[in-house]
Amino acid sequence: MIPLLLTLLPSIASALACVIILWRAEPALNRMTPGTHFTVRLAMWLLVVGAAAQLLALAMGTVPQWPTVVLELGVACLLYCERRLRVLIPRPRKPAADPHLF
């Protein structure tokens, strides 16, 4: 029972992470303009190809190692979370003007 769990759990976690990576990176790659920096385009392309290759490897029966699964989950979380600074770091509110000053 335990050996089955130790092979099934990383496979499920890796598949879930790869699906999230594909779900977020592939549309971002399609929305890139010709002005997008080459490094950003290459990084997204490598993420899509790597996630698809990992899903293929999982379908062929390989079991990923735990460091690989943790790395995939980290990348999936980075792609899933909101990356705009105005959402992550709220700006301080301007104090309301006192109507009695003027």
| Whole-prediction pTM | 0.76
Name the CA dihedral angle for 67, 69, 70, 71, rounded to a multiple of 10 degrees: 90
Tens-digit pLDDT profile for the chain (102 aa)?
678 888 899 999 999 999 999 999 988 888 888 888 899 899 999 999 999 999 999 999 999 999 999 999 999 998 888 666 554 455 666 666 666 665
Identity at 13, one-letter amino acid code: A
Nearest to 76, CA basis, from 42, 50, 41: 50
